[in-house]
């Protein structure tokens, strides 16, 4: 693939914290390699800003391998940028043209308050997972665990659900700010396996209750969550979670 350099204009959201008013600031970046990742381009810009005694752009990152989900931001109005099934750290500058203006914003959700600039607080996701509790089943060592009979399609569906990296793109893409895709993926990955059976009913009830408590919106089947998910997590998990929730609720009523 041909390598080339480009000059770009960036309009980046700057905000000190969730209590202050934010604004767009414009930056000119020159000589950016087409083979740089989007975050590497930010690194170059921040090095320049620091050398000029200016405030660098705050953005979240960790693995830079599309695994951790921390590099969450809108790029030109799309969660994680123009490439499908892709995180920002995997987005390369060859996706843009020299002379282009790129607009970069943080997630917009009441449940994800801005910490600084492009960094948002996604602790709500952690609290939802914590509400799901633990798995009490003891499978012993690896040999014992491998003796549990699990249909291949269930194992595959569980692994697909577990591929969710908790980046929050589903919430950012949803017009209602719903976290249903994320929560349903975390519910599904355990509901499909025998290891998740003991706490199956309490898990879905507690996680949905915590989701509502965090202030996420309702799902209205827009499917934008699946379209923007960098791992392609299916909305079929939402249907599964709804069935799990209904079944758990009916069982609770029957036991009263």
| Burial environment of residue 97 by CB neighbours within 10 A (0 to 12, 13 to 18, 19 or more) | exposed
User: 5-116, what's its fold?
Assistant: Ubiquitin-like (UB roll) (3.10.20)
Task: Write down the domain spans for the chain.
Answer: 5-116, 122-255
Q: Using an 8 Å Cβ cutoff, are 51 and 196 in contact?
A: no
Query: Which of left, alpha, beta for 89 (phi over 0: left; psi -120 to 50: alpha)?
Result: alpha
pLDDT digits (tens, 9 = 90+) for 49-65: 999 999 999 999 999 99
pLDDT digits (tens, 9 = 90+) for 182-209: 999 999 999 999 889 999 999 999 999 9
Mean residue pLDDT across the chain? 93
The token pair at 103 is 């607009």
**Residue from 77, 103, 81 nearest 25 by CA:** 103
CA dist 79 and 94 (Å) reads 18
pLDDT in the model for residue 46: 98
User: 122-255, what's its fold?
Assistant: Fumarate Reductase Iron-sulfur Protein; Chain B, domain 2 (1.10.1060)
């Amino acid at each position: 693939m041909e390598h080339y350099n480009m000059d770009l204009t960036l309009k980046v959201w700057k905000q000190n914290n969730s209590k202050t008013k934010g604004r767009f600031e414009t930056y000119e970046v020159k000589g950016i390699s087409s083979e740089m990742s989007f975050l590497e381009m930010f690194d170059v810009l921040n090095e320049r800003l620091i050398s000029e005694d200016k405030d660098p752009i705050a953005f979240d990152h960790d693995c830079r391998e599309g695994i951790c989900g921390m590099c969450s931001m809108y790029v030109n109005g799309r969660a994680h940028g123009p490439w499908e099934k892709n995180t920002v750290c995997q987005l390369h500058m060859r996706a843009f043209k020299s002379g282009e203006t790129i607009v970069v914003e943080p997630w917009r959700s009441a449940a994800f308050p801005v910490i600084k600039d492009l960094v948002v607080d996604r602790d709500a996701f952690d609290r939802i997972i914590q509400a799901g509790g633990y798995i009490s089943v003891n499978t012993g060592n690896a040999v014992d665990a491998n003796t549990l009979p699990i249909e291949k399609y269930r194992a595959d569906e569980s692994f697909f659900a577990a591929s969710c990296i908790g980046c929050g793109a589903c919430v950012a893409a949803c017009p209602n700010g719903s976290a249903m895709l994320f929560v349903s993926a975390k519910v599904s990955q355990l509901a499909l396996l025998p290891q998740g059976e003991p706490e199956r009913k309490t898990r879905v009830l507690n996680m949905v209750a915590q989701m509502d408590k965090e202030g996420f919106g309702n799902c209205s089947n827009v499917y934008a969550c699946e379209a923007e998910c960098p791992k392609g997590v299916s909305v079929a998990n939402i249907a599964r979670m709804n069935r799990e929730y209904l079944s758990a609720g009916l069982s609770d009523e029957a036991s009263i």
